[in-house]
Every structure is written in C-alpha cells, then in structure tokens.
Amino acid sequence: MSKRDYYEVLGVKRGASINEIKKAYRRLAKELHPDVNPDNKVAEESFKEVSEAYEHLSDETKKSKYDQFGHNVGSGRQSRYYEQSVRRQPVVGETMSLLLKLTLEEIYSGVKKRYKYKRNDKCDICAGVGGTDTQDCPTCGGNGLIINQVNTPFGNFTQAFPCNVCGGSGTSYKIECKTCKGSAVKLVEENIEVDIPSGVQEGMTFVMSGKGHAVKGGECGDLHINIMELSHKQFIRSGSDLRMNLKLSYSQLVLGDKVDIDTIDGGKIRITIPEYSDVGGNLKVQSKGLKAYGKDVRGDIIITLGISIPKEINETMKDLLIKLKKY
C-alpha cells in the first residue's frame, strides 16, 4: 500500500511554512494520541502516520528533499540516483542569431560592422527581479522545480523540470513590477559592434556572450553572428584562392599579350598571356588572393582563359578569316 502525501496527512497545503506544519501537527497529535484513544488501533496508526509526516516536514533539509523527490527519498537505488543527479540547472535565456553578409573585399581586409537589433534585457526598473516583497513561489513551493513522480513496472521515477512560473528561481513577488509585469525583462534596442577578422568563410559563427535574450532568474543567452559571403562580379572564392575567367581574342591567345586585371585589394596588376595559349588553360598570379583565416599568408589568383567571339565583323575581317581557314 502506497503512503499518503505528507502534506495531505497533516492537512496543510504544499509549500506551507514550518509554523503552519507545527500547528497542524499539534492539533492532530492531541486528537489521535494513544492516551486519548486507548485500544483504538485506527487512531494509533493515524498517530504514527502524522508523526512520520511531521518528522519529515518539520526539518528544513528533509522537507526540501521530500518536496523534490516525494517518498522516493532514501527508498532504494533509484531514489538515491535521482537525489544525487537531479539538481536545479542554471536558467539561461534564448540564443539569438544575426546574419552578417560580407563582400569579398571585406573578407580580404577584415571589417567592423555596427548592428541594431531588439532583445529582451533585464528590466532596469526592478533590477531584473520582477517585483518587490519576496515570497516563495506558490507553484513550486520555493524549490524552483516541478516534480513529477512516474510509477512504472521497473520502479518509481522522478522527473524534475524548472518551474515555468518563477523561471526556476523559486521566488515570486507580492507586488509585481509595473514596467515588466513581473517578467523581470523588457524589450530593448541593442547597439553592437562586430569585429570580423580577415579570411573568414561562409558558415562560420562568432559568439557574443550575454547578448541574447535575458530570462527571469537566470543568465542572458548568447548572440550568434553567422557569416554569409556575397557573390562577386569578378572572382569566385576557392579557400584562400580567387578564381576568375578572362576572355581574350583569338589573336591574343595565339600571339600572346599583356593584360591588366583588377585585384581584390583595389589595385591592378599586369599579367602576361603566353603565345599559343589554350582556351581553358590556367594562369596563376601568386599571393594576390585572400588572406587565410588566422594566418599571415595570401592565396593566389587562378585565371582561366577563354575566347571572346565577336557578334559582328566587317568584310575585311571576314576575308582574313576565310584565308585563315586554309591553314
């Protein structure tokens, strides 16, 4: 036969104070004491039940354990496991994310970006507590945890969850803050500066601790800065190398030439096109690519050669091409 809840035995509400528990015990002890009820087995058993309940609820330590684990406290291996493993976990606010879009020029040099965003911060009126005149949370009895006992064929298990009313703090307030309405947080506009080093890659995430949402009775969450690379009109990134296509005329490919191209740092360089270059062939310009992340080296520019076909030609050019066909 399972035991009755100790609070029910004493006729008090869960979360009752020690004084209330003492008063209830004294009243019941007078009614059920064996001296008052000689030879009354029912009264004798009830007196023992009341005494056991009072023993556990009149002691702060025992009462706290009972409030968390119920009758499982000290009742075997499973109860001891839960008594050791279930702890009030720190409450942390929600993580937030921002998408930071960067050009290849910004990735090359590194950049500082300023952002405005909205988040829940601790209420400055009540100092992030939610009100005044503290009291134990009536929902969890001041423990900060909601305890559920589950009976299974393999034994009794206890589940503990942070109280959704007090946020796991175990405290509520008789007078709520009018600004945050007891939530301890309010919506604010945050200004931040993000310092992004050179060489970052798409998919990287930078974490700003404590810049996410605040939560009652806990710590602020984090802000995640997620990197996204914008497409470039000339270059395609390949690690720290930059690839580009360069279209040339037939004569440039056959005879060779010198051509100016733009670089990612805003300058220009002159490259040499060798004689008899193939369409699809590659040229490499060393150390003119992106800076490698966390390293003081630069990648290369890889140039893929193509051919530019004119849309229209005059008669003179056409005659020359006809003559070239013979060769």
| Residues 308, 290: Cα–Cα separation, whole Å | 28
> Looking at residues 192-200, what average pLDDT do you find?
95
| Residues 151, 219: Cα–Cα separation, whole Å | 34
The pLDDT tens digits for 210-237 are 999 999 878 999 999 999 999 999 999 9
Q: Domain check: are 97 and 226 in the same one? A: yes
Burial 142-166 (b: 16+ CB within 10 A, else e): bbbbbbeeeeeeeebebebebbeeb
Whether 49 is in a domain gets the answer yes
Place of tokens 């939530």: 183
pLDDT at 41: 80
Nearest alpha carbon to residue 69 among 178, 181, 156, 163: 156
- Residue 275 in contact with residue 216, Cβ under 8 Å? no
pLDDT at 69: 67
Does residue 244 carry a pLDDT above 70? yes
φ, ψ of residue 65 to 5 degrees: the values are: -65, -40
Whether 127 is in a domain gets the answer no
Q: Domain check: are 23 and 57 in the same one? A: yes
Instruction: Show which of 70, 85, 100 is a domain's final residue.
Output: 85
Give CA separation, 56 vs 46, 118, 149, 304, in Å.
16, 48, 18, 82
Q: What is the pTM of this model?
A: 0.63
For the chain, percent helix, then strand, then coil, each to nearest 5?
25, 35, 40
Polymer length of the chain? 327
Whether 198 is in a domain gets the answer yes
Q: Domain check: are 71 and 94 in the same one? A: no
3-state secondary structure of 316: helix
The pLDDT tens digits for 305-322 are 999 998 888 888 888 888
Whether 168 is in a domain gets the answer no
Instruction: Show which of 35, 68, 85 is a domain's final residue.
Output: 85
Give how far the C-alpha of residue 294 lies from the chain's centroid of Cα atoms, to the nearest Å: 25
Q: Domain check: are 34 and 65 in the same one? A: yes
Q: Domain check: are 81 and 99 in the same one? A: no
Give CA separation, 97 vs 73, 206, 215, 221, 263, in Å.
42, 10, 17, 11, 33
Q: Which of 72-81, 125-134, 223-232 has the highest mean pLDDT?
A: 223-232
Q: Domain check: are 305 and 246 in the same one? A: yes
Following DSSP, what letter does each residue of 112-137 receive, concatenated? Answer: EEEEEEEEEEE-TTTTTS-EEEEEE-
Domain count, the chain: 3
Structure tokens at 249: 């005329």
Q: Domain check: are 21 and 97 in the same one? A: no
Provide the domain limits for residue 49: 6-85
Whether 176 is in a domain gets the answer no
Q: Where residue 15 sits, what CATH number does that domain have?
A: 1.10.287.110
| Residues 200, 110: Cα–Cα separation, whole Å | 8
3-state secondary structure of 147: strand
Instruction: Show which of 199, 230, 261 is a domain's final residue.
Output: 230
| Residues 196, 198: Cα–Cα separation, whole Å | 7
- Higher confidence at residue 158 or residue 235? 235
Following DSSP, what letter does each residue of 227-245 receive, concatenated? Answer: EEEPP-SS-EEETTEEEEE
Nearest alpha carbon to residue 222 among 237, 207, 205, 235: 207
The pLDDT tens digits for 273-307 are 999 999 999 999 999 999 999 988 999 999 999 99
Angle at 175 between CA 172 and CA 178, to 5 degrees: 110
Q: Domain check: are 30 and 62 in the same one? A: yes
Q: Where residue 240 sits, what CATH number does that domain have?
A: 2.60.260.20
| Residues 39, 33: Cα–Cα separation, whole Å | 11
Q: Domain check: are 310 and 243 in the same one? A: yes
Q: Domain check: are 276 and 250 in the same one? A: yes
Structure tokens at 172: 């509520």
Q: Which residues are within 8 A (CB) of 5 and not within 5 positions of it... i.e. 6 or more apart?
A: 70
Q: Domain check: are 109 and 225 in the same one? A: yes
Name residue 188's beta-bridge partners. 119
Whether 129 is in a domain gets the answer no
- Residue 235 in contact with residue 299, Cβ under 8 Å? no
Q: Domain check: are 252 and 289 in the same one? A: yes
Q: What confidence category does residue 86 fall into, taking pLDDT thresholds of 50, 70 and 90?
A: very low
